[in-house]
Chain A
Amino acid sequence: MNKNKEQLLNKRYKAEKRFRLYGQSAIFMALLFLTIFIFKIFSTGYSAFQKTWLIVPVTFDAELMMLDQNPSKEDLKDADYYDIALKSMADLDPNANEDQENELKRMVSYFFEREIKRELLNDPSLIGKTKDVYLTASDDLDQVFKGNYPRDLPEDQRRVTDYQLKIFDQLVELGKVESKFNLSFFTYPDSREAELAGIASSFMGSIFSILVCLMIAFPVAVLAAIYLEEFAPKNRFTDFIEVNINNLAAVPSIVFGLLGLGILLAVFQLPRSTPLVGGITLSLMTLPTIIIACRASLKAVPPSIREAALAMGASKMQTTMHHTVPLSMPGTLSGTIIGLAQALGETAPLILIGMVAFVNTIPGSPLDPAASLPVQIYIWAESAERGFVEKVSACIMVLLGFLIIMNLFAQIIRHKFEKKWS
């Protein structure tokens, strides 16, 4: 009998231990996913912050550029750079035949003559002289140099030919290949060529959308929250509003995209693909988040504050506007920032209102067509070129960086400025 009891007890203790273990492994799994995730993004993305350059001697031959003697600045701008650019690439291998010259040309970026042009415009005295110019390597060679490209594939399966690799290796040996910080990733707009693609256009698109979203969502949400928390009578209608808000907070984001498409674009005829429409759509999504946060922090203001103000003869409106609302601001602001961070990461609604259009200019206002950072991630992730994979990861790193900063900021506001009532 006693033995039986002991067995039972042991069994129960074992069950206890097992259960605890389940819990621990659940937490461990969740954290493991997070770690793998972050590791994967960083390990594929960090190399995008470096860019490979080929150092190529360029002879600025006035004749080839169709320049007269003593050309003016205008002449230099209009001159023909393609021929000298082509020639300087072909000169890398004096014995190259026509096909090989073509291959040589494709070792650098698509717009390599612009880089040569910029060099000459910076220093017009170079005419007739030879100078080593930094040319952006093609994205395939860039990947080869970073070691992301399998060299042992059969030649017909890779986009880099054996000949290009041979010349490239010679250049590497001569120290004519250099890796530098990839500034153009931050300053260039999107491009079809991976080596020239940057996040400037989508970054500005995101900024404009978020600003529009903030300007609409914040005032409306705060005013609505003040009404609902401080003034609204308890009746069916207010309950209805409340149900609406709670539901909207859980409606899938793509439905808001359909709203933007069906109402903002089709009925109000707002311009397609613009951060204005994107921002309005996002603001409708963020509205419930901010209202809920603002109401919670208004509720947290103790009634004694209101009673004291009313006792001093302030009207209800004065009490609210001068005392309750300012005290609730830290909570509201941190809720707003969290809502904006959500909006910043949103993709699906923006795709539906056309913010996936290929934009190769940097938008200057919310009325110019633009993409946004998450949409840029989607666009690049869908393109087949190998060079875009690291760009996607790098773009994700930038986006995550912003989200982390915003969330930290929200935390700081909450901890530093929020009064603890006890």
Chain B
Amino acid sequence: MNLILFTFIVLLGFTSYYFGRRKAYTIQSTNKRLTALPQFYGYYLAIWCAIPAFIIFSLWAIFEPTIVKLLILSDYSNQGYLDDELNLIYEKTKALSRGQFTGEITPFIEASAEKYLSLRSIAQSSKAVIVLSIIIASVAYAYKKISSNSRTREPVEKFLKAVLFTASLAAILTTVGIVFSLIFQTIDFFKVIPLFDFVFGTHWYPAKAFVRDSSEALDPTMYSDTFGAVPIFAGTFFIAFIAMCVAIPIGLMSGIYLAEYASVKVRQYAKPLIEILAGIPTVVYGFFAALTVGPFLKEIGNSMGLDVSAESALAAGGVMGIMIIPFISSLSDDVITSVPQSLRDGSYAMGATKSETIKKVIFPAALPGIVGSILLGVSRAIGETMIVVMASGLAANLTLNPLESTSTITAQIVVILIGDQAFGDPKTQAAFALGMSLFLVTLCLNIVALRVVKKYREKYE
């Protein structure tokens, strides 16, 4: 139904475009000067067709369900039902009308379902009538307006500009969406668990919160020692640290080599090859870490008499480091290449060797940019999910031994939210609270890193 209506409106739009343009030609044929190119007359009419349709469709989408619900539930209003029960009745009605109802069908619900269907069809047909009549009215009005050869280009362009502006708000909307999706659950979570316990508690056993019987009242004391996030935060930074131990030396040295030493030919092949590492999906790294690196480390450890977990922090962190190499190498390569040649020439003229120039002149000059690239790498390591989920443990141990398994913020979010979630459960809310802390930490890192890199660019450009 909606689809038919939609196609009809699109067709109407095209017709009004055609009429608008034809109007322009008739004006032209009376030897009057047009105020804009003919197609603008067409666009003008088409916009007058699209805007009212859009407004009515959105109004309908917002208000129709509420009004239908009110009408259906008005039958039950004097029977002393609670709000929750009324909602349940409404859900049952909807399910029955779609034919997806399983369970006992009472005559009341059946009657409501019939009423629901008839209301829906009334709503649909009245929507069609209203949309079509308003569109025709507005197009007729606009048609009359262009007959007097009034301006059409300016309003059309203004409309386009408004569309462009709205699109650019998408980025802000996404950020707002992220904050909104996280903040309410997080606030609810901290109503049950004190912030202090979350930030400084050292025991993380969210599975314990799952045992709760839903009929029992929430008892905050039973959650003490359940949601202490210290092991999670420690594990996150520990694994990120291991990753950076792999990524910084290799990434930085390859960046320096590519920028300063490599011949054009080596650079031409090595750079894209290293960047392939950045294009490999993280789930593939996770599989690699879990299938190859983990058992390999375990075997080596066992042969040396060490007790290595097959899901060690070392395996996850090491593979994560490989993943981050290209981020650091290409960013530092860019940064080093943009150091002005005059600095190098000056150093060579003083008799310094190439490596001395790099270490004593170029590196200090490029340091802010390199620090920025490293910070971006750290932010990526902290936010990385699949490698940790697949290759590191899921139990939150508070340990600094890289051979044991640890868990991270991202892994815990996945563990908690995989499968069905019950909103309102402290366990689910805990995942959102972790998400919030992850978002804040990476946000700070990103802002600092981007600012450092930007400052550096401005210095030399």
Chain B: minimal CB distance from A349 (Å): 9
Contacts of B383 on A, CB cut-off 8 Å?
251-255
User: Contacts of A241 on B, CB cut-off 8 Å?
Assistant: 168-169, 171-172
Task: Verify A261–B421 contact, CB threshold 8 A.
Answer: yes
* Cα separation A252 to B182 with both chains bound (whole Å): 14
The reply to whether A347 and B282 contact each other, CB–CB distance below 8 Å, is: yes
Contact residue among A263, A288, A351 (Cβ-Cβ distance under 8 Å from B171): A288
Chain B residues near A211 (CB-CB < 8 A): none
> What chain B residues lie within 8 Å of A247 (beta carbons)?
175, 443, 446-447, 450
* Interface bits A1-31 vs B (CB < 8 Å: 1, else 0): 0000000000011011011101111110111
CB–CB A381/B277 < 8 A: no
B window 428-445: CB within 8 A of A: 431-432, 435, 438-439, 442-443
Establish whether residues A261 and B417, one from each chain, have CB atoms under 8 Å apart when the complex forms. Answer: yes
Q: Which of A135-143, A158-166, A224-232, A298-306 sits within the interface?
A: A224-232
Given the interface pairs A247-B447, A255-B439, A378-B283, the reply to whether A317 lies near B288 with Cβ below 8 Å is: no
Which of B182, B257, B389 contacts A24, CB < 8 Å? B257
User: Using Cβ atoms and an 8 Å threshold, which residues of chain B touch A392?
Assistant: 287, 291
Please tell me if the beta carbons of A287 and B170 are within 8 angstroms of each other in the complex.
yes
CB-CB under 8 A for A378 and B386, given A224-B171, A347-B283: yes
B414 and A254 contacting across the interface, CB-CB below 8 Å: yes
Interchain CB contact (< 8 A) of B163 among A20, A223, A291, A348: A223
Among A32-40, A102-110, A178-186, the one that faces the other chain is A32-40
Interface residues of B in 104-152 (CB under 8 A from A): none
Whether B358 is near chain A, meaning CB under 8 Å from some CB there, is yes
Q: Which of B148-178 contact A (CB under 8 A)?
A: 153, 157, 160-161, 163-165, 167-172, 174-175, 177-178
The residue that A263 contacts in the complex, of B153, B180, B359, with Cβ under 8 A, is: B180
A224's contact among B170, B270, B418, by CB below 8 Å, is which? B170
Q: Are A27 and B274 in contact (CB under 8 A)?
A: yes
The reply to whether B249 and A26 contact each other, CB–CB distance below 8 Å, is yes
Interface size on B (CB < 8 Å)?
Answer: 90
Also in contact, A27 and B270, with CB within 8 A (given A12-B353, A15-B355, A252-B410): yes
**Which B207-252 residues have C-beta < 8 A from chain A?**
249-252
> In the complex, A88→B189 CA distance in Å?
61
Residues of B within 8 A of A315 (CB): 153, 157
Chain A residues with Cβ below 8 Å from B283 are: 345, 347, 374-375, 377-378, 381
Contacts of B290 in A (CB 8 A): 381
Q: Which of chain A's residues have a CB closer than 8 A to the CB of B178?
A: 251, 255-256, 258-259
CB within 8 A of B254: which of A20, A30, A262, A346? Answer: A30
The answer to whether B385 touches A20, judged by C-beta atoms less than 8 angstroms apart, is no
User: Shortest Cβ distance from A417 into chain B, in angstroms?
Assistant: 20
On whether the beta carbons of B161 and A253 are closer than 8 Å, the reply is no
Asked if residues A227 and B282 are in contact (CB atoms below 8 Å), the reply is: no
Q: For the complex, is A312 an interface residue (Cβ under 8 Å from B)? A: no
Beta-carbon contact of B171 and A291 below 8 Å: yes
Residues of B241-281 at the interface with A, using a CB-CB cut-off of 8 Å, are 249-254, 256-258, 260-262, 270, 273-274, 276-277, 279-281
Residue on A nearest B384 in the bound complex, by CB: A252
Chain A positions 396-414 with a Cβ under 8 Å from a chain B Cβ:
396, 399-400, 403, 407
Bound form: Cα–Cα A289–B254 in Å: 25
Which residues from A are CB-within-8-Å of B442?
Answer: 250-252, 255
Any A CB within 8 A of the CB of B292: yes
Closest residue of chain B to A25 (Cβ to Cβ) is B253
Which residues of B sit under 8 angstroms from A254, Cβ to Cβ?
383, 385, 410, 413-414, 435, 438
Q: Any chain A CB within 8 A of the CB of B354?
A: yes
Q: Does B185 contact A (CB under 8 A)?
A: yes
Residue-by-residue, is A332-345 near B (CB-CB < 8 Å gives 1, otherwise 0)? Answer: 00000000011011
Query: Does B379 count as interface, using CB distance less than 8 angstroms?
Result: yes
Among the listed B160, B174, B274, B390, which residue makes an inter-chain contact with A317, where contact means beta carbons less than 8 Å apart?
Answer: B160
In the complex, the answer to whether A378 meets B286 with C-beta atoms within 8 Å is yes
Answer whether residue B63 sits at the interface, using C-beta atoms and an 8 A cutoff: no
Residue A367, interface by CB 8 Å: no
A276–B250 CA distance with the chains assembled, in angstroms:
40
Residue B49 at the chain A interface, CB threshold 8 Å: no
By the criterion CB–CB under 8 Å, are B277 and A19 in contact?
A: no
B184: A residues at CB distance < 8 A: 262
| Complex CA distance for A176 and B417, rounded to whole angstroms | 48
- Provide the residues of chain B in CB contact with A240, threshold 8 Å: 172
Which of B249, B280, B435 is within 8 Å of A400, CB to CB?
A: B280
| Distance between A350 CB and nearest chain B CB, rounded to angstroms | 10
CB of B175 within 8 A of CB of A248, answer yes
For A18, the closest partner residue in chain B by CB is B355
The reply to whether B281 and A399 contact each other, CB–CB distance below 8 Å, is yes
Is B284 an interface residue, CB under 8 A from the partner?
yes
- Bound-state CA distance A33–B329 (Å) is 15
Majority-rule SS of B interface residues: helix
A228 smallest CB distance to B (angstroms): 6
Is residue B376 within 8 Å, beta carbon to beta carbon, of the partner chain? yes
Any A CB within 8 A of the CB of B322: yes
Q: Cβ of B254 and Cβ of A248 under 8 Å apart?
A: no
Q: Are B277 and A30 in contact (CB under 8 A)?
A: yes
B181 in the interface (beta carbon within 8 A): yes
Report B-chain residues with C-beta under 8 Å of the C-beta of A258. Answer: 178, 181-182, 413, 417, 431-432, 435
A250 touches B376 (CB 8 A): yes
CB proximity to B under 8 Å, residues A209-226:
219-221, 223-224, 226
Provided the pairs A232-B168, A288-B171 are in contact, do residues A23 and B354 lie with their beta carbons within 8 angstroms? no
Task: Determine whether the beta carbon of A16 is less than 8 Å from that of B354.
Answer: yes
A317 near B157: Cβ-Cβ < 8 Å: yes
B423 at the interface (CB under 8 A from A): yes
Q: Is B46 an interface residue (CB 8 A)?
A: no
Distance (whole angstroms) from the CB of A376 to the closest CB of chain B: 9
Report the bound CA distance from A231 to B162 in whole Å.
11
The answer to the question of A41 belonging to the interface, with a C-beta cut-off of 8 Å to chain B, is yes
| Distance to closest chain A CB from B100 (angstroms) | 13
Query: Nearest residue in A to B454 (C-beta to C-beta)?
Result: A246
A263 to B423, CA, bound (A): 12
Q: Which residues of A contact B284 (CB under 8 A)?
A: 41, 345, 374, 377, 396, 399-400
A20 to B261, CA, bound (A): 8
Question: Is B385 in contact with A253, judged by CB distance below 8 angstroms?
Answer: yes
Contact partners of B359 in chain A: CB under 8 A: 19
Q: A33-B277, A231-B164 are in contact. Are A26 and B253 (CB under 8 A)?
A: yes
Residues of B within 8 A of A316 (CB): 157
Residue in contact with A346 in the complex, picked from B163, B167, B281, B418, CB distance below 8 Å:
B281
- A348 with B385: in contact, given A341-B279, A378-B283, A399-B281 (CB under 8 Å)? yes
B167 touches A227 (CB 8 A): yes
Which residues of A in the span 363-404 have a Cβ within 8 Å of any Cβ on B? 374-375, 377-378, 381-382, 389, 392-393, 396, 399-400, 403
CA distance A219 to B382 in the complex (A): 31
Task: Give every chain B residue within 8 A of A250 (Cβ-Cβ).
Answer: 376, 379-380, 442, 446, 449-450
Known: A23-B254, A348-B410, A377-B283. A37 touches B167 (CB 8 A): no
Across the A-B interface, give the 3 residue pairs with the lowest CB-CB distance, nearest first.
Answer: A252-B383, A23-B257, A345-B281
A-B contact sample (12 more), CB < 8 A, given A227-B168, A255-B178, A345-B282? A18-B355, A27-B270, A34-B273, A241-B169, A243-B447, A247-B450, A254-B435, A258-B413, A258-B417, A258-B432, A291-B171, A381-B287
**Interface of B toward A, CB cutoff 8 Å:** 153, 157, 160-161, 163-165, 167-172, 174-175, 177-178, 180-182, 184-185, 249-254, 256-258, 260-262, 270, 273-274, 276-277, 279-284, 286-288, 290-292, 322, 325-326, 329, 353-356, 358-359, 376, 379-380, 382-386, 389-390, 410, 413-414, 417-419, 421, 423, 431-432, 435, 438-439, 442-443, 446-447, 449-450
**What are 18 sample pairs from A and B whose C-beta atoms fall under 8 A apart?**
A12-B353, A16-B353, A26-B252, A27-B262, A34-B277, A221-B170, A224-B164, A245-B171, A248-B175, A250-B446, A251-B178, A254-B414, A258-B181, A287-B171, A342-B279, A345-B280, A352-B413, A356-B418
